[in-house]
Each structure stands twice: as structure tokens, then as C-alpha cells.
Structure 1
Amino acid sequence: MTILITGARGKVGRAVIDRLHSAGLPVRAASARPAELTVPAGVETAELVLDRPETFAAALRGVRQVFLYPQPAGIHDLIEAAEAAGVEHVVLLSSSSVLAPDAESDPLASHSLKVERALADSGLTCTFLRPDAFASNSLGWAWPVGRSMPVQLAYPDAQIAPIHPEDIADIAALALTGDSLTGRALTLTGSESLSFREQLAVLSQTLGRAIPVEHITRAEAEEQMGRHMPAPMVSSLLDLWEAADHGPAALGETTETLLGVPARTYRQWARENADAFTAR
């Protein structure tokens, strides 16, 4: 029973591969550029390009479970190929944003929502993992923090419950190896609500130096963020943070509730990634 991991170049995908391989399970890592993958010895690799259905059959041969990153392009063809190959279960790395009232029109949420709906309409058994904000999103502050510059935020007191990517991998591995999560849609978070300001205070303590926080206007944030991402995505993120600026974030399922293992903290993530916040 081979387990296919898509998005094998991503941090969560790689961590899931490591867990399954360490457990002695047959794993195949899929990528549009499989030659560039770094996988443990004994892990198969396969080419899988979502807009090239001719790559599907070989990647899915002998596969019974799939860990899937959400990509709407080619999803219906991929589902058809998976059903034909005998795939029994898909674990989708979705997003909590699909629960928003405007998810269909939101550029962030609609990406995952389209994949969820396509899978829900299929004959496949599916598990939807819907993580909230990743702790690793803080890497977006690495450039100013590493240069002792202030971190400029339009909503510094917006609260999220950041989840450690390794926690997501632990939950995904459980979903792929047991049946306790099969067929469920799970909103995943860390175990504590933290504002951006509080996250930066944790980073400051970890690094042993001050990190100034500068409150800027939404218009200024739109201009800055617009240099790196499309305007609709900027608006979506800022709307999300504005809505989160009015109290603690709701907590969802964690490794504690699902696995009986304490969730990794944001402080732990900060310690593990402190080097990323040092200028090179």
C-alpha cells in the first residue's frame, strides 16, 4: 500500500515523508521536478504535474492513500485518475480560510475550497486538514528583524493561534496511518492565541535583543505588501488581520486533542528558527 505525497518539496510534505518512511511504510514523493527532491534512501520519487494528466498514471500506480496539497488546476482529472488507480483515501492539506463567509470569492480561501468541493463530490474517502496560521509565517519578518529594523504592521494586535508545521505533519501522518481521523474536516491550530506584537516579543526574548514594532496605516501596508503579491491577496490578508484585531483567536484541534501529545509552542518554533532572523 504505497502512500503518495504531493507537495514533497514543502516543509510539511517533507516532514510527512520522514514520518512514514521511519515507520517502515512504502512512500512515493511526487513533484513537478522530481530530480530536485531530497528524500530518504528507499523513498520513491515520481513526476506529477497537475496540468499534464499524462503524468498521473505512473505517479498513482499502486497507491492507496494520497497526501494532497491544494491545487485547483487539473484537480478533476487527478481525481478521475486516482479513482481509476484504486486510491481509497485522500488527506488534503486545506486551510481554515475555507470556513469564512466569503470563501468562494476570497483569493486565498477559494484556492483550497475548490479542491475540497471537487474531492467531496468524488467517490474518494477524504480527510480535510484545515490549519490556521502557520508559525512559520513569521519568517516574513526575518529581513527587518535581521537588520535591527522595526517590523511595520497595520494590525499589530491581531490575534492568531499559530500552529507549528511539525504538528501538522504529525496529524497528517496519523490521518494516513490510522482511521480515527478518516472522513473528518479538522480545523487545526496551536494551543495559544498570540497577537503579532506578542509573537515578536517571543522572538525578541529568544534572540536577546529588542524588536521595535511600528504601527502603520492600512494604506501603507497595502503599498508595502503589494510589492510582493497581487492586490486581491493583499486585501484578503489585511481583511483577515483586521477581523482578528478584536480579541483572542478561537482554538481548534491540536496535537493534544487528536494525538494526546502537547502541541509545540510558538516559543519552541522561535528557538528552532532563530538563525533565520540573523542577517547574513
Structure 2
Amino acid sequence: MTTTLVTGARGKVGQGVIARLRAAGHSVRAASAHPADLTVPDGVERAELALDRPEAFGAVLRGVQQVFLYPQPAGIHAFAEAAEAAGVEHVVLLSSSSVLGPDAENDPLASHSLLVERALADSGLNCTFLRPDAFTSNSLGWAYFVGQGLPIQLAHPDAHIAPIHPEDLADIAAEALTGSSLTGSAPTLTGPESLTFREQLAVLAEALGREIPVERISRAEAEEQMGRHMPAPVVTSLLNLWEAATRGPAPVHDTTLTLLGHPARTYHQWARENTAAFARP
């Protein structure tokens, strides 16, 4: 029986991959820096994995044929070497579509994933790179403000994105790990439709049955607000990305429809599934 090591096992996508593999009868080892905190299905083994402790890689990878890997540049070269030595046959990386952007090496949004892609590509491992664009779940960043009845303040409310539902990404990742149709590929993944931030908020408002006011703010105001929670280079990169995205609809790339043959989950569906996160206190 094939054993798959799933890193990032506390994340939404990682949890979805674990559930799908286990339901299909596969052996799964869920890895985390704090494995005792993991909630996993019965029969799933927990393992401790910290990429700054390469001396432990051998034990974590023993008996593993496949790895679902979250991108973490620290320790990736040592991890790839250990995976080769352990006989790992396939690595499916949750990368990012940002690696395809201009000057990706110097972009703080892209370089993280790009370094991991390059390390794996330089190894002898058979790899599949999944490159999702924005997630529908990014909208949870608005939850506090919506719950408090506050306006959503955006510098670029009419920026277009085609966000992918995390469950679609988990479906695609599970197929990459259990089938052969995606092996060795690097698909760019999106949801099935382009929506502006303003349109997403209108969908959320409809699902909640109440208005969500949207206010346009200046770039300087956005930089100040976002800078409270993230490094300045990341703020700059995001605002540049969103400014460019105001020029027209976002391209729709591969989805579960094109890759798996079943309809992609929509942003409307995600909104209906997550109304509780936006509820008033």
C-alpha cells in the first residue's frame, strides 16, 4: 500500500487531502511541527516535521512513496535529498501562480514558492507543481469587519480575480496523488469565474441577507492599514497586483472541470457555506 506524507496537515487543503486519501483507503502520515495538535481521521499516523531539523527527515520519510508538500524554502534542499534517499517516488507541491509573474525571484509573494519549485526541479524527484491563484477563503479576511457592520475599505475594489475553492484544490491534489493524469505537470489553477472584490462582497451580502458597504481608500491608506499585519514588501506586491488586476477580467485557467471532468465550485457556493464566519457577534 502506498503511504503518502502530507505536510501542512493543519491547513484547509492539507486536511482535505488527508480526508480524501484516507476515504480511498490509502495509508497517510500527517506531518506538523506540533503533531499532537493535529485532528486527523482514524488510522492516520501523526509525525513531527520541522524543516529546520533535517536530522529528523529520515524517520519522517521512512516507508513513504509520495509527499504532498506545502512550500517552505527553509530546509528544502535537505528535505529533497532525504526524500530521494528514502525512495520517495512523487512529490506534489502546493505552489502558487505567482511564480509565473514578472521578476518572480524578487517578488515576496512569488519567491517563497519559486525557491521550493527550483529545489525540487533540481533534484531527482518526480514532481507535480500545483499553482493556484487566489483562494475563495481569502475573503475570511473581511469576516471581522462584516460581522461588526463596518465598511470594507479597499484601494482597488474593482480588481478582478478568479478565486479557487479550497475543496476544489483538495480534489485536484488528491487526483495528482492517486492518479496519473497530472503527474509531472504544473497546472495554473483558478475558480470558474472572474469576480471583482466588489462583486465578491455583493455575493456575500446576498448570502447574508444584508448590505456590506464598500469604501475606496487611497493607496497610502491601504499601505498603512495592511502594514499593521504584514511586511511592507508584501503590501507593495499585493497592491501592485491588485492595481494591475483592475484592467479587465481575470483569466480562468484549469479547474476541476478541465482537469477532473466535474464542475468547479463557485464563489457563490463558498459564500453560502461560510455565512457563519461573517455573522454578527
- TM-score, length basis structure 2: 0.99
Q: Describe the SS at the equivalent of 1:70.
A: coil
What is the aligned partner in structure 2 of residue 20 from structure 1? 21
Please report how far the alpha carbon of residue 58 of structure 1 lies from its aligned counterpart in structure 2 after TM superposition.
1.3
Instruction: Return the alpha-carbon distance in structure 1 between the equivalents of residues 122 and 252 of structure 2.
Output: 29
What is the aligned partner in structure 2 of residue 107 from structure 1? 108
1:214-272 CA-to-partner distances (Å, cap 9, x unmatched) read 00001000000000111011001101101101100011100000000100000000011
What is the aligned partner in structure 2 of residue 258 from structure 1? 259
Instruction: Return the alpha-carbon distance in structure 2 between the equivalents of residues 147 and 45 of structure 1.
Output: 38
Q: Describe the SS at the equivalent of 2:65.
A: strand
What is the aligned partner in structure 2 of residue 66 from structure 1? 67
What is the aligned partner in structure 2 of residue 234 from structure 1? 235
Matched, 1:205 2:198: no
Q: Which amino acid aligns with 1:244?
A: A
What is the aligned partner in structure 1 of residue 80 from structure 2? 79
1:37-72 CA-to-partner distances (Å, cap 9, x unmatched) read 000110001011000012211110100100000000
Instruction: Return the alpha-carbon distance in structure 2 between the equivalents of residues 279 and 223 of structure 1.
Output: 26
Q: Describe the SS at the equivalent of 1:210.
A: coil
Instruction: Return the alpha-carbon distance in structure 2 between the equivalents of residues 102 and 205 of structure 1.
Output: 39
Q: How does 1:26-41 map to 2 (within 5 A)?
A: 26-41=27-42
What is the aligned partner in structure 2 of residue 148 from structure 1? 149
What is the aligned partner in structure 1 of residue 195 from structure 2? 194
Q: CA RMSD in A?
A: 0.5
Instruction: Return the alpha-carbon distance in structure 1 between the equivalents of residues 194 and 109 of structure 2.
Output: 22
Matched, 1:48 2:49: yes
Instruction: Return the alpha-carbon distance in structure 2 between the equivalents of residues 55 and 236 of structure 1.
Output: 35
What is the aligned partner in structure 1 of residue 223 from structure 2? 222
Instruction: Return the alpha-carbon distance in structure 2 between the equivalents of residues 9 and 271 of structure 1.
Output: 23
Instruction: Return the alpha-carbon distance in structure 1 between the equivalents of residues 56 and 202 of structure 2.
Output: 47
Q: Which amino acid aligns with 2:265?
A: R
Instruction: Return the alpha-carbon distance in structure 1 between the equivalents of residues 220 and 246 of structure 2.
Output: 17
Please report how far the alpha carbon of residue 279 of structure 1 lies from its aligned counterpart in structure 2 after TM superposition.
3.1
Instruction: Return the alpha-carbon distance in structure 2 between the equivalents of residues 241 and 20 of structure 1.
Output: 36
Q: Which amino acid aligns with 2:232?
A: A
What is the aligned partner in structure 2 of residue 133 from structure 1? 134
Instruction: Return the alpha-carbon distance in structure 1 between the equivalents of residues 184 and 135 of structure 2.
Output: 23
Q: How does 1:175-194 map to 2 (within 5 A)?
A: 175-194=176-195
Matched, 1:171 2:172: yes
Instruction: Return the alpha-carbon distance in structure 1 between the equivalents of residues 56 and 199 of structure 2.
Output: 46
- TM-score, length basis structure 1: 0.99
Q: Describe the SS at the equivalent of 2:105.
A: coil
Q: Which amino acid aligns with 1:14?
A: Q
Q: Which amino acid aligns with 1:54?
A: E
What is the aligned partner in structure 1 of residue 121 from structure 2? 120
What is the aligned partner in structure 1 of residue 280 from structure 2? 279
Stretches of structure 2 that go unaligned for 5 or more consecutive residues are none
Q: Which amino acid aligns with 1:202?
A: V
Instruction: Return the alpha-carbon distance in structure 1 between the equivalents of residues 166 and 280 of structure 2.
Output: 23
Stretches of structure 1 that go unaligned for 5 or more consecutive residues are none
Q: Which amino acid aligns with 1:252?
A: H
Instruction: Return the alpha-carbon distance in structure 2 between the equivalents of residues 118 and 190 of structure 1.
Output: 28
